[in-house]
Structure 1
Amino acid sequence: MSALTLNDIGFEDRIFNTGSSKSSNHLAELIKLSLNHYEEPVSLQRKSRSLASLQDFFNEHSTENWDGYGALPLSNDALADCKEFLKNIPADVSFPDLIPEPSGGIGFQWKKSKDWVFIVSFKGNNILSYAGIFGAGNKNHGQHIFRNSIPKIILENIKRIIV
């Protein structure tokens, strides 16, 4: 007979597995994973899922000619910039649509309608290029250096779309 018990001592010491079978050890591992997930803030869970989605997207477009028209593979440096951007994005900002760029860059798009769109483009050179349409005749575009924090103008433009 084996038993698993939970207590309120420390995070890692919550599970006492008195069993020795593979099933008992597997069950103890599943419970530890569940506790980790349960205690992780929702905002971190969302960021983890976003980063995983970004990695899957990158893998799908990381070969030459991924579009059938001679596109370059997505750049590892662009991926690194994208990951850093997502790690720094505030919790109240939704995950963007991902756009592969034929030049090897990655685009993030937030879209409310065809006349309300904002895109940030990552080339892997620590420079964010952006462009937005905010209703008829209202456009905004530019470039900013990206080093560990998202420029204020980019966050303001994203929030214009997602509110």
Structure 2
Amino acid sequence: MFADVSVSPQPLDYLERFSALTHSVNIELPAMNKLFPNFENSQINYTKKVLLESLANVAKQASVFNWDDEGGIPVNRSSLEFAKIFLSYYPHDLMMPSLYPDPDGSIGMDWDFSDGTNLIATIMPSGEIAYSVYGDSEKTYGSIIWNKTSFPIQLRNIIKTYE
């Protein structure tokens, strides 16, 4: 009575498949580049695309005064520009942060690591990056005077420590 119709699932695009593969089985990037030419460039572009789309959503979410119903001010234009630069240098091999607007107009980033440690970093209107690392037994905080020409090595080292 009914025709036997089998629907094949939509294939994941190349990048999603191999990004998931590298994260789930921890394949080294050079090996992936051998198997799939241009993998690294695709991964870099994908990471930046996801982060910049997230930043656009943050800016839209906090575009008016009192966006949080608690007096939050709109995202500061300087913080937004510095965040764009920061994310353009974001290493594709690092865990991606969650982005959010801070009520003071700055851009916040949050990394929740599997051991329960959290890293919170804030891009201030001056371009300075304030950070705090906290977990069960430790709390560290500081600020980074960022040269805006590369990803801050101090932040990379903190992320790599807990990743």
TM-score, length of structure 1 as denominator length: 0.68
Counterpart position of 1:98: 99
* 1:161 CA drift (Å): 2.9
Corresponding position of 1:85 = 86
Q: Which runs of 5+ in 1 are unaligned?
A: 1-37
The structural deviation recorded for 1:87 is 1.1
Cα distance in 1 for partners of 2:115, 2:105 equals 25
Quick check: which has more Rg, 1 or 2? 1
Match of 1:141 in 2: 141
Alignment RMSD, CA only?
Answer: 2.0
Q: 1:114 to 1:99 in 2, by over 3 A?
A: farther
CA distance in 2 between counterparts of 1:49 and 1:138 reads: 31
What is the 5 A alignment of 1:49-60? 49-60=50-61
Q: Does the aligned pair in 2 maintain the 1:111–1:161 contact within 8 Å?
A: no
Check conservation: 2:52, 2:84, Cα contact below 8 A: yes
Any conservation in 2 of the 1:99–1:108 contact (CA below 8 Å)? yes
1:108-147 aligned at under 5 Å gives the runs 108-112=109-113, 115-133=116-134, 135-147=135-147
Question: 2:43 touches 2:92 (CA, 8 Å); kept in 1?
Answer: no
- Code of the residue aligned with 2:58 in structure 1: it is F
Q: Distance in 1 between matches of 2:130 and 2:156?
A: 13
Q: How many Å separate the matches in 2 of 1:73 and 1:111?
A: 25
Query: What is the CA-CA distance between 1:136 and the residue it aligns to?
Result: 2.6
Letter in 2 for 1:71: G
Q: How much does 1:91 deviate?
A: 1.2
Aligned residue type for 1:146: W
Partner of 1:9: none
Aligned mates of 1:63, 1:161 — CA distance in 2: 35
Regions of 4+ moved over 3 Å = none
Distance 1:140 1:127, change over 3 A: same
**Which amino acid counterpart does residue 142 of structure 2 have in structure 1?**
G
Displacement after TM superposition at 1:113 (Å): 5.4
* Greater strand proportion: 1
State the one-letter code of the partner of 1:106.
I
Which 5+ residue runs of structure 2 have no aligned equivalent? Answer: 1-38
TM-score, structure 2 as length reference: 0.68
